[in-house]
A and B are shown apart, each in its own frame.
Chain A
Amino acid sequence: MPFLSFLLLFPLVGALIIACIPSWKVRAIKIIALCISLINFVVASGLWIVFDNSTAKFQFVEHIGWLPFFNMNAYIGIDGISLFFIVLTTFLVPVCLLVGWVNISKHVKEYCLAFLILETCMLAVFCMLDLLLFYVFFESVLLPMFLIIGVWGSRARKIRAAYQFFLYTLVGSVLMLLAILLIYFQVGTTDLQVLLVSEFSERRQLLLWLAFFASFAVKVPMVPLHIWLPEAHVEAPTAGSVILAGILLKLGTYGFLRFSIPLFPEASLYFTPLIYTMSIIGIVYASLTTLRQIDLKKIIAYSSVAHMGFVTIGLFSLNVQGVEGAILLMLSHGFVASALFLCVGTLYDRTHTRLIQYYGGLVHIMPLFSFFFLVFTMGNLSLPGTSSFVGEFLILVGTFQTNTWIATLAATGMILGGAYSIWLYNRVVFGNLKPLYISMGSDVNRREFWIFVPFVLAILWMGFYPQVFLDPMHVSVSNVIQHGAYIS
């Protein structure tokens, strides 16, 4: 069964169907879009069930000719590394559609179209086994995302944010294009399975690695290149932030794991100190920055930067624990940060402000919300029992084996993370209610409740029984690590 091409094409087909519906039939458009994304989620979960844990080979491989004459073909397939990103993507898209169910009132049709097309692009990134086509979809995410930030964003500054998002990402990734062409000229193909068995000279590896790094580090974002992220997050609509935090930040780290580490093993070893330094600075800097922010979304955006710093450290610890922890933290962050952005969206819908100083004592009027917010905050500071703890713990274990100092420094991130998370929660939920600003508040409604519930379940499930997530990725991760022969 061509499961993967179904996954890729189904949202596109849905987008075509929706494009044919007149735009005043708002309800029909929403329901069709939601159904399509839910069906996609079911199919993706089915993939997880049928997935064969015992092999590192790519599964569900399909081959679609694109430029056969130039040896550039669309190979799609997934292994243990990409499996969960596909599930996560298909999980988050219906959430995004549901988030905009009521408060997106203008351009509803375009909203649904943008998200469905975005879903195809993101899924294609995760299952493409061809370097050039990976690049194509990696970039094409820009178009719908630019429009999502620009059209449905909240303030006038959104345009600047959309610009920054677009240009930052583009500058990084065009260098990757040149690197891909260079690889093509050496190997004669961009098929990943062939590239994995071909070897590059050490000098060239360094160059190529840097070019890939320019692209991935912007997407991750590593610290000096992170400026676009808080802007884009703050100005994006809630659903945009969910996708941005949930998936788009993972594109960079996924790229590191899928391409940089196995293709350029020597360069990866060579540049590990660079990654470590940037990540540590990122963790500490972003965590400290968080303490000073007054915008709810910016706080969570900066905490994403810190968490992504953890992920990159884990990836470049280059042993099985670290890499698995990194993947698990990516997944967990996909749930936790998205859920936190959903919380902020819930607040914003009611009060139309995101400045912390206007909030306080929400527990008196929104008890249910306060509960959900608590669970997600605890997830964010990686409390044992939540998903992030497993990820960060594994990362620290992995890093400890390669570099004790880095592990120690990274561990400060856990303290700082606790500091800002709890302080944020305190300021928003506890204390006296400020009735001057928040006069009318209602607790989460049924729709929001049912959006939050799966996130809570997922976070706790991953926290208590991570085995289900670790099992499918184990063989693939070991394969990647052994491929570069980092164990010596």
Chain B
Amino acid sequence: MMGLHFIHLFENDFYALFPELFLTCTTMLLLMFGVVWSTSKAEGYPILTHTIAWLSVWSLVCAFGLTIHSPFSVMVSFYNTFVIDELTFLLKAMVLCSATAAMLMSMEYLKTSMLNIFEYSILVLLSTISMLLLISSYDFISMYLAIEMQSLCFYVLAASKRHSEFSTEAGLKYFLLGAFSSGVLLFGCSLVYGYTGLTNFEDIAKCLAGSALFQTHHSFLHLGMGLIMIGFLFKLTAAPFHFWAPDVYEGSPTSVTAFFAITPKIALLGVFLRLLLGSFYDLLFAWQYVLFFCSICSLFIGAFGAMAQKKIKRLLVYSSIGHVGYLLIGICCGTVEGLQAVLLYLILYIFMTVNVFTIVLSCIDHSKTFRLKYIQDLGLLGQTHPVLALTFSCTLFSMAGIPPLAGFCSKFYLFFAAMGSSLYGLALFGVLSSVVSCFYYIRLIKIMYFEQPSQLVTYGAIDHEKAILLGITTTVIVFFFLCPHSLFLWTYKVAYMFLG
């Protein structure tokens, strides 16, 4: 009887979270399969890394299909704990795609790096589930729990190469600073709860509606909101709170770095958007300044920090900090165009990052011992691998925002949104910092084409998965300019449904 009642209570709710449930079940199955099989003496302790990685890729693809064919377009489920709307649909699809891409590009790494850990794929799946839940979460509690689950998976992933000092150090740093930022976030949530007595996003929005009109002074609320924002900015590696990112990204195994760099930003940014533009929208003028400041810092640090870097991963981290700065400009606007610009930028940024990390991962020599580490190792790539070098330069030019590549379209729309909401200074600063950041992107191209390296490195052939990823992403980057309107329209629709 109780069971029936329970099902009646959540009549459709389980359908709404079907992709997450599916992924959870497959993760459990894969975990059991891996544990039992890899310790089976009868089979000779088989190495299951590759098998499980492929199975998890397929389950991600299935989850993507389930997300797309979700029976609901808008729904709030589990007593207002989780929400589904156009925005979550877009972000979830992006998370699943990028997680799939990250898995695909690390296939070869998992096979050749002598790491017998099938748990890698399990952890990726688990963190993907938590990110899906994070995107959907509509309540402080579910949000915090989802963030924690995701972070825990990441701490383990960062330290997964346990024979390497760098990896363990990265794991430790990530854990300490991640836990600290989660603490800050939790304190912020409790302050907001203490002030309003509410944890639901929608309730908070209703509670604060029009509060800006009354000029009431609620410093605790502001403090709570500020702490929440700081927690998020920590996790998004925005500038004053970025200092952990270079070390962690550099120390972690490259495939893990790729996953860190690509996927979590989508989910975190999604819920950050939902909080700021949904719940705290009426305090726009309070949080706008914080974002304004962070965005300028990120642009500055991203542009100038990357200039001094010698290692490719550190350089990419700084570049991603700069890109976070651009995304923050979009949120700063607080308009439909701003939100649309953020989504557009995010989508194209994901394409570019996938491309870059695929290239970084595919630079390994024939004996599979030497991997691309310093940017000088790219020397003469233009002669040894002309197509790869051309692809890389296209992507770098696109990241720098040179027309007519995809990066330009996203950047231009971002400045468009910023000008539209009268953030002239921010737009000017963004434009100028994009010129500065051009400098180090071109430096990579210069090294690839024009510089004689001290030692010539020739890299081996690229495997199929990476080749396909590179093909898709480069096509999008180069030819996006020709027909951008469908993506523009789609993001506009999502933004309009959310804010309008």
Contacts and interface: CB of A to CB of B under 8 A. Distances in A.
Nearest to B481: A136
Nearest to B446: A159
Interface string A153-192: 0000011001100110011001101100110110000000
A240 interface: no
Given A150-B450, A151-B449, A177 B415 contact: yes
A178 B415 contact: yes
Contact of A136 (B408, B439, B489): B408
A166 B446 CA distance: 12
Interface in B218-260: none
Interface string B388-405: 000000000100001110
A140 interface: yes
A159 B443 CA distance: 10
Contacts of A66: 484-485
A147 B450 CA distance: 10
Interface in B168-226: none
A70 B488 contact: yes
Interface stretch (B29-37, B42-50, B99-107, B425-433): B425-433
Contacts of A185: 419-420
B416 interface: yes
A166 B404 CA distance: 15
B403 A140 contact: yes
Interface in A262-301: none
Nearest to A151: B449
B461 interface: no
B166 interface: no
Interface string A433-475: 0000000000000000000000000000000000000000000
Contacts of A110: 386
Contact of B450 (A70, A139, A159, A184): A159
B431 A67 contact: no
A396 to B, nearest CB: 38
B402 A67 contact: no
Q: Is the contact region of chain A dominated by helix, strand, or loop, or is it mixed?
A: helix
Contacts of B53: none
B402 A139 contact: yes
A228 to B, nearest CB: 14
B416 A67 contact: no
Contacts of A163: 439, 442, 446
Contacts of B434: 174
Contacts of B412: 132, 177, 181
A430 interface: no
Contact of A69 (B428, B481, B492): B492
B416 A184 contact: yes
Contacts of A70: 488
A143 B405 CA distance: 10
The size bracket of the interface on A is 35 or more
A178 B403 contact: no
Interface in A203-259: none
B485 A65 contact: yes
Contacts of B468: none
B75 interface: no
A166 B419 contact: no
Contacts of A51: none
A166 B438 contact: yes
Contacts of B28: none
Contacts of B420: 185
Nearest to B401: A174
Contacts of B431: 174-175, 177-178
Interface in A96-152: 110, 132, 135-137, 139-140, 142-143, 146-147, 150-151
20 contacts: A66-B485, A69-B488, A110-B386, A136-B404, A139-B403, A140-B403, A140-B404, A142-B402, A143-B397, A151-B450, A163-B442, A171-B432, A174-B432, A177-B431, A178-B415, A178-B419, A178-B424, A181-B412, A181-B419, A182-B419
Interface of A: 65-70, 110, 132, 135-137, 139-140, 142-143, 146-147, 150-151, 158-159, 162-163, 166-167, 170-171, 174-175, 177-178, 181-182, 184-185
Interface of B: 386, 397, 402-404, 408, 412, 415-416, 419-420, 424, 427-428, 431-432, 434-435, 438-439, 442, 446, 449-451, 481, 484-485, 488-489, 492
Given A159-B446, A174-B434, A177-B431, 14 more contacts: A67-B485, A69-B488, A110-B386, A136-B404, A140-B402, A140-B403, A140-B404, A146-B442, A150-B450, A159-B451, A167-B438, A178-B415, A185-B419, A185-B420
